[in-house]
Amino acid sequence: MKVKFIISFFFIILSISSQEINPDYYITQAKKIEKSSVLFSIPLYEKALEMELSPKEKSFIIGKLFDLYLNYSKIEEIFILTKNHEIDKSREIKLNHLYKTLAHNINMQEEKFKDFIECLLSKDYHSQKKLLNYYAEERSIYVLNYIFAIKYKLQDFESLGYLISEAPDMPPSLRLAYLIKTNSKETEKKIKEFAKISELTDDQRMEILFLYGAYLQKKRRYKQSARYFRMSASFDKKNTNFAKMGIVEAAKSLFINGKGQEGCELLEGKKIQVQTESDELLNLYCNKKIQKDLNKYLPAIEVLAKQESGVIFRSYLQLYLDKESYNPINYEDNF
Amino acid sequence: MRTIFSLFFITYSIFSTEEKNFFPFFQISTKKIIIEITQPNIKLCRVKPEAVFNYNSTIKEECLLVSGRLDKLINKLLNKKSSRKEYLFLLVNSEEKNFLAKLKFSNKEYSLISIIYNTIEKSTYLELLDNESNYYFYTINPKIVNFKLEKSF
């Protein structure tokens, strides 16, 4: 089974590689996909942006990504995109408005907020020191959220490690999240240690269990991961019409473990609040009427499958490979 | 997987007094747990599951009538020759249907869905539901778990 999976995945990767030559392929696919799934078009535009483009194509993709990120509140991505690429005047106005709103939301002066974000987007030692000062001055969970969200997106673990070592009062959930992301051997021990803190609130318990589920998923212990994700949902007291986050992640662990149908049953008919591409995948997979539509998104799923966090997409490709005589060139037939 | 560090995930502080309990909160740390058996001829069965949470269709492998301590029953039911990573045990009634026993701890009542034994960690877990159908997966020392049969049996 394992050998079969490795061979199949090798085949998939080979198939993808053969199509990487031409950015037009990604742009064309992205435009088609965008009509029915904005989220799945994003990785294709991003992929095209990594390639050699004409100035016109480049300007089109940057503008497009800016708009799509804004629509899906992908704030970290907006900051990174606009640091690395120039945007046109109308989007510059939108960006300034975004800075203003976000600064207001966390009660920080706009100029200071801009400086803070600029500092976050740099990886040098001077910026690390500055960030520590921001944290010391503000002592706000929102400031910390920005630091962690953007540093993770940039894979700047050195800066985060520095901050954690210099700020021992950092919230346990963020310390845990860092340990999980950096594959620290201490993770399991620390999770259990934090879970021993007395008088944890339900929200804190939910968060620790959720992180434990994420840790186990990373360790490929999918059954245990699903159980802890599901338990985390039991401490999630928010009442919405959507499936709870822990349940959605439990369903994803089941899906990765080859038990997609059981994952869908776990949702008990509740809708998924689609925020990420993996939410979108599960949402389509669990809706019998539109499940077949997923095949339309194979070009995007292939790109996502190559990313470090793409295990759920690799599982879907494996599933697809088992069902069909897989031939990436045949995607066109699905439109 | 959802990005753990999305700006919209962690929205509250978890600063806390670092006073420690002896056990993490997902381990039942009470001195004694009683599983109430309200029907006659209830068996604990080692089963082979086809799903992770849905135990409606399982293959029963070996069963024993319940009584006494959980650890002793588990020891008898473990298949020492098998190399499974985990064993699943269900309570089954005389009609061969799954029986959800009640148990109490920390002033709360739960229904017992299953007992899981992990051979690598050598840990025992209880899968429970509370009266609002919330799911819990607690580690437990099986030596503190006892079955209590109604006197009339």
Chain B residues whose C-beta is within 8 A of a chain A C-beta are 1-8, 10-26, 51-54, 86, 127, 130, 134-137
Q: Do B5 and A148 touch (CB under 8 A)?
A: yes
- Strands B58-65 and B68-69, by their bridges, are unpaired
**Helical residues (DSSP H) of A171-286, grouped into ranges:** 172-181, 187-194, 202-218, 222-234, 245-256, 260-266, 277-285
A-B CB pairs within 8 A amount to 131
Q: Which helix (H) or strand (E) holds A90?
A: helix A89-105
Mean pLDDT by runs of 10 across the 153 residues of chain B is 45 49 85 93 95 93 95 92 92 94 92 96 96 95 93 69
Q: What angle do CA A34, B6, A112 make, to 5 degrees?
A: 105
Question: How near does any CA of chain B get to the CA of A167, in Å?
Answer: 13
- Measured CA to CA, the distance from residue A260 to residue A103 in angstroms comes to 41
Which candidate from A149, A174, A226 shows the least CB-CB separation from B52? A226
Q: Do B10 and A311 touch (CB under 8 A)?
A: no
* 8 Å CB contact of B130 and A234: yes
Which residues from B are below 8 Å from A172, CB to CB? 14, 16
Measure in Å the smallest separation between the Cα of A197 and chain B Cα atoms. Answer: 5
Answer yes or no: is A126 within a domain.
no
- Rounded Cα distance between A92 and A133, Å, is 29
B86, B116 Cβ separation under 8 angstroms:
yes
How far apart CA A40 and CA B91 sit, in angstroms, is 45
- List the single best residue of B3, B5, B9 to mutate versus A (max A Cβ within 10 A): B5
Q: CA-to-CA distance for A94 and A104, rounded, in angstroms?
A: 15
Q: A273 at the B interface (CB within 8 A)? A: no
- Domain around A223: 188-274
- Mean pLDDT per block of 10 residues along chain A (335 residues) reads 51 52 91 95 97 94 97 93 96 96 93 95 93 88 89 93 88 87 89 87 92 94 97 92 95 97 93 93 93 92 93 94 56 33
Question: How high is the pLDDT of residue A142?
Answer: 86
Q: Report if residue A238 sits inside a domain.
A: yes
* CA of B57 vs chain A CAs: smallest distance (Å): 13
CB contact under 8 A, B14 and A173: yes
For residue A230, tell me if it sits in a domain: yes
The residue of chain A with its CA nearest to that of B15 is: A171
Number of domains in chain A: 1
Predicted local confidence at residue A120, as pLDDT: 95
Residue A197 lies in a domain: yes
Q: Does the beta carbon of A252 lie under 8 angstroms from any beta carbon of chain B?
A: yes
**In this structure, which amino acid lies at residue A311?**
V
Shortest distance, CA B44 to any CA of chain A (angstroms): 22
Nearest alpha carbon to residue A271 among A245, A252, A293: A245
Q: Which two tokens stand for residue A157?
A: 């673990």
8 Å CB contact between A26 and A53: no
- Looking at CA atoms only, how far is residue A42 from chain B in angstroms? 16
Q: Does A104 map to a domain?
A: no
Provide the chain A residues 200-239 that lie in CB contact (below 8 A) with chain B.
200, 203-205, 207-209, 211, 214, 217, 223, 226-228, 230-231, 233-234
What pLDDT, in 10s, does the model give residues B76-110? Answer: 999 878 889 999 999 999 999 999 999 998 889 99
Give which of A116, A121, A52 is closest to A81, Cα–Cα.
A121
- Cβ of A171 under 8 Å from any chain B Cβ? yes
Enumerate residues 6+ apart whose C-beta is below 8 A from A111. Answer: none
Task: Supply the DSSP symbol for A291.
Answer: G
Looking at the domain assignment, is residue A96 inside a domain? no
pTM of the model: 0.88
Cα B130–B132–B137 angle (5° rounding)? 35
Q: Does A172 touch chain B (CB under 8 A)?
A: yes
In angstroms, the CA B78 to CA B62 distance is 9
CA dist A219 and B45 (Å) reads 30
Q: Is A174 on the interface with B (CB under 8 A)?
A: yes
* Percent of residues, chain A, with pLDDT higher than 70: 90
Nearest to B1 among A148, A174, A217 (CB): A217
Q: Locate the chain B residue with the closest alpha carbon to A179.
A: B4
Question: Does B6 sit within 8 Å of A149, measured CB to CB?
Answer: yes
